[in-house]
Amino acid sequence: SNILLSEALKQTEVQSKIEKLHLAAHLLSDSKDPIALFQQKSLSEAAHLLKIQETLDKEIADGPEFSGLGVNETIYRLIRSGYGKRAQKIQNECKVSEKTYWWARLRALVAKRDWGELEEL
């Protein structure tokens, strides 16, 4: 599945990346080894994230801005551009811890110079 993962990295189209990831995850689906289980879960998460980012790219950004970023970075950028609701949705979907979310939020608000909202925290 690691080979498939590196292949997925090389793909240029988002759709084919997701396909490869699913394939890689599928490969492990029969395994009971805890390490493999973790791997499988992460792979599907990766695919899921790519899908979310794809829609974000379509709806918010003009070009490919979000796809390929890490979860935290995605949240960070969303807040910076003022999409707090969406950021919170991702936090829930990807099970990001409170603490991480707050750090991302803090950094984003500082970058945005949104002192008003900062004071509300």
Partner 1 sequence: MAPRLGSEADHIRDKARRDLLTLLEGVRGKKNLVISKDLAGPVGLFVKFSVLQEYGVDRIFLLENANVDSTQRNVIFLVHAEKVHQIGTTAEQVKRLQENGTVEHDFYIFWVPRRTLLSNKILEDTGIIGDVNIAEFPLYFCPLEQDVLSLELEDSFGDLYLHKDPGCILLAAKALMQIQQRHGYFPRIVGKGDNARRLADLLLRMRKELEAEELSGLDDSVGGLLLPSLAIESLIIIDREVDFATVLLTQLTYEGLIDEFVGIKNNQADVDSTIVGAAVPPQASQGSSSTPQSASKPALKRKIQLDASDQIFSQLRDANFAIVGELLNKVARRLESDYESRHSAKTTLELREFVNKLPAYQLEHQSLKVHTNLAEDIMRQTRSDVFRKILEVQQNYAAGSDPTYQHDTIEELIARDVPLKNVLRLLCLESCMFGGLRPRELENFKRQILQAYGYQHLLTLRALEKMELLQPRSSTGPVVLPGGGASVGIKTNYNYLRKNLRLVVEEVSEKEPKDISYVYSGFAPLSVRLVQCVLQKPYILSLTKGGPTPPTVNTVSAASPGWLGFEDIVKSARGSTFSIVQKGDEKAARARQTLSGSGGVKTVYIFFLGGITFTEIAALRFIARQEAPQRKVVICTTGITSGGKMIEAAMEKGSFAKAA
Q: What residues line the site for partner 1 (CB under 8 A)?
A: 2, 5-6, 8-10, 12, 14, 17, 34-35, 38-39, 42-43, 45-46, 49-50, 64, 67-73, 76, 94, 96-97, 99-100, 102-104, 107
Q: How far is the CB of 73 from partner 1 (least distance, A)?
A: 7
Q: What share of the chain is helix, strand, coil (3-state, %, to 5)?
A: 75, 0, 25
| Cβ distance to partner 1 smaller for residue 17 or 86 | 17
- From the number of C-beta atoms within 10 Å of its C-beta (0-12, 13-18, 19+), residue 108 rates as buried
